[in-house]
Structure 1
Amino acid sequence: MKYRINLFLVLCMGALHLQADNLLSSISTDMKHFNTIATQTKQNEHYQPYIISTFKSKELEKLGVSNLKEALMLVPGIDMATDNTNNQIPIFRGSNPFAYGQSKLLIDGVLVNNLFFDAYSEYLSMPIDMIKRIEVIRGSGSKVDGINAYAGSINVVTYAEDFKGFESNDKLVFKYGSYDYKMGGFVKNFKTENFKTHIDFYYQKDDKKISSGPDGLSQGSLGAANTGLSQSGEAPLWLDEYSLGVNLLYKGISLKARVLQHKQGSAYGINLALPQASDRVKLPSYYAELGYAKKINDFNIDIKAGVKYDTYDSKAKLGPDDVNLSGVVFPDGAYGEHYAKQRVLYQSSYLKYNGFKKHQIAFGYRVTQEKTIEMISKLSNRATGDVALVDYTYTLPFFDKDAHRSVFAFSLEDAYDVNDKLSILYGVNYEQNSYKDAGLEPRISFVYRKDYKNIFKAIYSTSHRNPSWQEMFTKNNRARVGSTDLEPEKVASYEMAYIRNFSNDTYLQSSVFYLVNKNQIYNSAADPVYKNTAKTDIYGIELEYKGHILANDELYANYTYIDGSYTIDGTNATNNIPNVSHHLAKGYYIYNFNCALSLGTTLKYVSSKERMNTDLRPKVKPYTTLDTALNYENSHYNYTVNVSVKNIFNADVRYLSPQNTYVDDYAQERRTFLITLKKNF
């Protein structure tokens, strides 16, 4: 009997040991799977050698966030600026709000900044429902596959991303809101064993008009003779656009393509004169990228080649009736059509090697060829003042029709895991340009994981911003004149961060930064030629918290303090940093009543902004906005209804205008509402 009992116990222990081995093996496999996905999706952002914030669309949709711009306004350190054509720009940590190209936008890893402005305003209206996740890296170290970011980078991940256990759902979306806003779209995925297809499509339009003025003529933007023609009225800020995106993946071969047809009102006027309601700007964007990724032993190969077309297409009334331009009076006003189409060809090859213990070596290159392939310039008759358009494409072009530029970038870096707690990423970028070379730019970052709860980061990086084509090649324009003698803007960035993890989904991230900016490019109404005229030092702190108050809620909050000084070349005058909000505070709170119903609230505070020392206007006023959203999700029929109200207390939100333009800055929308209906499949 004792023998049988002992035998039974041995068999039980063996079975339990076998089950435990299987369980541990299963857990280990799952952990590897989730770790791989976390690495690929940057969900383990606390371990990344950058200052990074990640936002998931499922949370943003509960808050009634409508598009990419609204999502970015929640990111620490980001403010928003615009210009007279409503070319909106996210400003990272107060870095030169009048310059474009300081940050880069990537959609599924494809760079989408347009060539004309080196901006991406046309993509800021991308509906949040087409986006799965947004990853924002703050700082000049954010370089990916030869794509150089000066102040930060934004990677939009669509529902083309598809991992086992994290599959994307198909959906239909419809929206209606203020300014007669209408939107419809869908996401569809097809998948077989070796082939994956993703398609997303959306169409949206509104009739937004916002009371604005007096316009820039009151400040002499078209000369002293025209100040009496200044107007106030409705600025046409309407939108009409559609987009189709396609991602194909067959084994290691991928194709990423998108067509964006973007049309908008002429906003505050091409020449700072309030335009007609029908005046418009088109900013279409098309791209296609073919890629090949392959793992061979310890090597990972990533080869890409792509083409991108961007167009600036404006048709507008440039001056009011009886405007006097260079001594010629235009009784019926001055009109113009400006068209410039650019093409970008690029190819990159990158190789990662994991054969060395504790090291991952990555190196490669990216070659870019940029060219204007078509340009048209038509204006009302400059000799007679007749309203009929005359073709000035060759005699008085608004842009260099032969503009072209080539860029070669090489990078080499090593990710070195010193031990289980310390990792170092160091490397160098080199860029050669057909105009002005950027040269060598080193970076190094340390990530020290004392334990799960305490993580420290230290980062030093250098970067640059090449002048945009508007800054280099614009001609015959009263407000802006290009120069091919411009040097790249340069920045050296010093950052430190401490992350305190309280639980798997609760953390506090604090960071300090110091940015040294040189060769910053400015122009003004008094001197429209773009020049490297300023040096700016910026420093600040960022605090970011995510967690819970109760078991069934979600809380997110951040605060940024920014300060510094600038020096204008030739005068050596050092002043408090202008055009920057010193305090930014943002956050949201979601209370889940149950698994179906939730209430979300979003709060944003932007402090006042000081002007340039030559600008005698009062400070730009601070503002606080409060949004709320009620979200109902029916899991049985897989549909969601969201009702939101933005800017509940009707705060007066204005974006900074340069000196001698719109004296009361650029007015933005007040209180609005939005209804969203979504069906998942």
Structure 2
Amino acid sequence: MKPLSVLFILLLLPSSLLLAENDDLDKVLEEATYIATKTKLNADYVPGTVTVISGEKLKSLGITNLAEQNAFDMIVGFDSSTLSLRGAGSIYGAEGNKIKWMINDKPISSEIWGIPKLGVGQIVFPIPTDAVDRIEIIRGPGSAIYGGNAIYGVVNIITKKETGSVFTTLSQMESNKFGKGVGAYGTFEKNDLEVTTIVSADKSDGWDLPITTQSPARDGNLPNASRNNLFMADISYKNFDFWTYRLEAKNDYTRLQWDPSNYLPQDNDEPVQSNTYTMVGVQGKYNVSNVVLTAKAGINQYTNRAEVVFKPSSVLGNNPNHLDGVRKIDYVESTKYVEGIVETTVGSNRLLGGVYAGFLSVDQDDVLQTWSGNNYNPGISTNLLTVNDPKRINRALYLQDEILLNDQSTLTLGTRYDTYSDGRNALSPRIAFVYMHDESNILKAQYSRAFRPPSFSEQYSPNNQVSTKTYESETADTVELSYIFKTKETSIKTTAFHSRTHNMITYHDFTYETINLESPTTVNGLELELSKNYETLNLGANMAFYKSHRGEVHLSRGGLVLNYDPSEFALSSKVMANVFATLNSDTYYPTTLWYHYTGSKNRVNNAMLDANGNIVTIYTTNGSTPAQDYLNITQKINGISKGVDLEFGVKNVFGKTLKTLYFPLNPPNTSDVPYMGQTFWVNLLYKF
């Protein structure tokens, strides 16, 4: 029986078998979330579609670190392998840069995420789930209060603030490869001083992931070793909060990195590239009568450094010294920002307003890429971005009014206006209505607009044929309707939405240069979350169904008419689903099973035409990637000794080699790139 058939059979069982949410997640859902409105509200009562998942739940599903390749798969409509939400963020060239990412309410981003060439840029958060309190997710636009990049979603990772724990994780992959990690977190309090720290380090040899490609890459294993380091410190003293974070993710150049048109990197277990995020800042909060004033200032820096050797030298043609191909990257960017927020309540109106100013600059972007023929230029670096002196000042003003119409209804009105020093501006309105018929039935409706200016890597991509072209910011208008039914044991959440994007920023499927699509693109979707809890058994599922429509593409280069008709988005799955169950949930030894399914994804399936309108046959239909699925099983034993919990399990029980389609989309480079295999793991957590 096909996996998707099994899924639908599970969904057709009686209501007593509807969803699995454990007690930890139930408690989180009853807690307040700030992500939807920046004010304190229950997650089920906020405007729009918000999901909250605890770190304990993620760990019970087999996710021990957010740097893992499938770390966010459990989120409704999230495809970790393309870092997308709602079937739209995975549009080619947009790996994660159309989502607003935050850590403890502090934004984190990079101008080179999603760049199409030279393998720079990725999103990896090396945070152990042992140290994660919860993850809050807005599915859909969030620009009205969060600004640019919040076009298809907002993800906020919130870490723990507890007395203290030490944890370690050991794992074994296929082919006798291993992983190990260790970490600790704790909180010190004295009088008005509170200090919370998190430290961790881990290393993984990865898996043997064989790949068969077309020339020139040849066949071999795609290296995927990783090594991560984390330091986070939050200090609170009276009215002030200080933070200093350093997240370093090292890898072997495969996750959204490797370009299949190049040779394979050397197969080894030592990471050759690092992505480092450094975040420091201060915040002050004051209560003046009925007004809360918050002032915030911070500096974020992102660096990408790599030295990758491509093999083998024997196939590098006329390379005079028979050297392997080499790619070296030294990239640095920084963002300096200040923000002020005012909150107050006047009658039935809860008002929030804010001002924001940020300065973004690329400080260094040296790239050395050399191999045979004309590309053999040892020691000569190029500056992809700084030659254009990319700098951007962003100023914004936002205002929001949550109006309590009566005991059952709330209306939220909000808007944000952003300006950029390079001549762009954006208005992001929002109107949302929440109606609570009774304690069990909630209706929601929302219209919102989001925007995203072109990143520097898109504006100044080396593939762009017209270097002086200015790209328009993309805007997305989204309408969504939601219904929630919940009792103490049962929960059913349904959301239907329609999103229309204008001036979509993407990459041409043949030339890989940045383009604005001339006609609108759309995504229609239906999302379901279901849960049912028994005394010793919790069952659950979530599903997402998407139908996308990409606008027309018109481009002429080198005597060829490179036009494409409207089609579905490449890389975007129509169906994604999770089914999970926790057995013995109220005992000291719960067992959790998690089945994940991602449907097939289209490659480019339109013909390319020459100047006479004839089909260039090599670029006709390109097929699709197959559906992917896996099963994880996790066993937990609480209190094996005083303060010690043991957790162990198998990820990808049936040992499938999971694959997805990365750049590029067209022949002759149509390889389905492997990204994950089977893993056995064990974790010990000691609380003191």
TM-aligned CA deviation for residue 103 of structure 1: 0.6
TM-aligned CA deviation for residue 399 of structure 1: 3.1
State yes or no: 1:399 paired with 2:382: no
| Alignment correspondent of 2:431 | 444
Pick aligned residue for 1:312 from 292, 304, 308: 304
TM-aligned CA deviation for residue 296 of structure 1: 0.9
Pick aligned residue for 2:453 from 466, 474, 494: 466
| Alignment correspondent of 2:405 | 418
Q: Map of 1:588-627 to 2, 5 A cutoff? A: 588-592=580-584, 595-614=587-606, 616-627=621-632
Change (3 A) 1:584 1:593: closer
Q: Deviations over 1:491-549 (max 9, x none)?
A: 0011000000122x53110110101012222224631321113632110111101231x
Q: Secondary structure at the match of 1:560?
A: strand
State yes or no: 1:632 paired with 2:637: yes
| Alignment correspondent of 1:335 | 326
Q: Deviations over 1:66-105 (max 9, x none)?
A: 22354521111111334xxxxxx23333334321411111
Q: Greater Rg, structure 1 or structure 2? A: 1
State yes or no: 1:562 paired with 2:546: yes
Q: Secondary structure at the match of 2:32?
A: helix
Does the CA-based 8 Å contact 1:213-1:663 persist in structure 2? no
Q: Deviations over 1:129-167 (max 9, x none)?
A: 11011111101036545565110011111113xxxxxxx
2:624 partner amino acid = K
2:77 partner amino acid = G
Q: Secondary structure at the match of 1:471?
A: helix
Counterparts of 1:280 and 1:636, CA distance in 2: 40
Q: Deviations over 1:237-261 (max 9, x none)?
A: 1111201000011122001220122
Does the CA-based 8 Å contact 2:266-2:310 persist in structure 1? no
Counterparts of 1:94 and 1:39, CA distance in 2: 25
TM-aligned CA deviation for residue 341 of structure 1: 0.7
1:587 partner amino acid = V
TM-aligned CA deviation for residue 118 of structure 1: 7.3
Does the CA-based 8 Å contact 1:633-1:640 persist in structure 2? yes
Q: Map of 1:267-282 to 2, 5 A cutoff? A: 267=254, 269=258, 272-277=262-267, 280-282=272-274
Pick aligned residue for 2:88 from 94, 99, 105: 94
Does the CA-based 8 Å contact 2:333-2:362 persist in structure 1? yes
Counterparts of 2:287 and 2:531, CA distance in 1: 37
Change (3 A) 1:206 1:143: farther
TM-aligned CA deviation for residue 560 of structure 1: 1.0
TM-aligned CA deviation for residue 115 of structure 1: 3.2
| Alignment correspondent of 1:456 | 443
Counterparts of 1:580 and 1:175, CA distance in 2: 33
Pick aligned residue for 1:643 from 641, 648, 651: 648
Counterparts of 1:318 and 1:180, CA distance in 2: 24
Change (3 A) 1:39 1:538: closer
| Alignment correspondent of 2:241 | 254
Pick aligned residue for 1:522 from 506, 516, 523: 506
| Alignment correspondent of 1:674 | 681
Does the CA-based 8 Å contact 2:605-2:622 persist in structure 1? no
Which stretch of structure 1 is more off in the superposition, 277-286 or 360-369?
Answer: 277-286
Change (3 A) 1:626 1:377: closer
Counterparts of 1:382 and 1:433, CA distance in 2: 42
Change (3 A) 1:383 1:659: closer
Q: Map of 1:576-591 to 2, 5 A cutoff? A: 576-591=568-583
TM-aligned CA deviation for residue 336 of structure 1: 2.7
| Alignment correspondent of 2:160 | 159
| Alignment correspondent of 1:123 | 124
Q: Deviations over 1:225-276 (max 9, x none)?
A: xx3x431111111111201000011122001220122211122635632111
Change (3 A) 1:636 1:80: closer
Q: Unaligned stretches of 5+ in structure 2?
A: 1-27, 116-120, 555-562, 607-619
1:295 partner amino acid = N
Which stretch of structure 1 is more off in the superposition, 67-76 or 327-336?
Answer: 327-336
Counterparts of 2:309 and 2:492, CA distance in 1: 51
Which stretch of structure 1 is more off in the superposition, 432-441 or 103-112?
Answer: 432-441
Pick aligned residue for 1:485 from 452, 457, 470: 470
Q: Secondary structure at the match of 2:196?
A: strand
Q: Deviations over 1:261-293 (max 9, x none)?
A: 221112263563211135722111101121011
Q: Secondary structure at the match of 2:202?
A: strand
Does the CA-based 8 Å contact 2:332-2:365 persist in structure 1? yes
Counterparts of 2:466 and 2:300, CA distance in 1: 26
Does the CA-based 8 Å contact 2:535-2:586 persist in structure 1? no
| Alignment correspondent of 2:529 | 544
State percent identity of aligned pairs. Answer: 20
Does the CA-based 8 Å contact 1:471-1:483 persist in structure 2? no
Which stretch of structure 1 is more off in the superposition, 408-417 or 124-133?
Answer: 124-133
| Alignment correspondent of 2:483 | 498
Does the CA-based 8 Å contact 1:172-1:186 persist in structure 2? yes
Change (3 A) 1:584 1:383: closer
Q: Secondary structure at the match of 1:61?
A: helix
| TM-score, normalization by structure 1 | 0.84
| Alignment correspondent of 2:32 | 38
TM-aligned CA deviation for residue 205 of structure 1: 0.9
| Alignment correspondent of 1:182 | 180
Does the CA-based 8 Å contact 1:558-1:586 persist in structure 2? yes
Structure with the greater relative contact order (CA < 8 A, sep ≥ 6): 1 or 2?
A: 2
| Alignment correspondent of 2:16 | none
Does the CA-based 8 Å contact 2:48-2:480 persist in structure 1? no
State yes or no: 1:664 paired with 2:671: yes
Q: Secondary structure at the match of 1:574?
A: coil
Does the CA-based 8 Å contact 1:323-1:333 persist in structure 2? no
Q: Secondary structure at the match of 1:676?
A: strand
Q: Unaligned stretches of 5+ in structure 1?
A: 1-33, 83-88, 161-167, 219-226
TM-aligned CA deviation for residue 335 of structure 1: 1.7
Which stretch of structure 1 is more off in the superposition, 525-534 or 170-179?
Answer: 525-534
Does the CA-based 8 Å contact 1:510-1:542 persist in structure 2? yes
Q: Deviations over 1:91-127 (max 9, x none)?
A: 3333343214111111111112223327995434422
Q: Deviations over 1:620-675 (max 9, x none)?
A: 10122111011101176011111110111223421123323742311122221111
| TM-score, normalization by structure 2 | 0.83
Q: Deviations over 1:555-587 (max 9, x none)?
A: 221111111311223358232443221111103
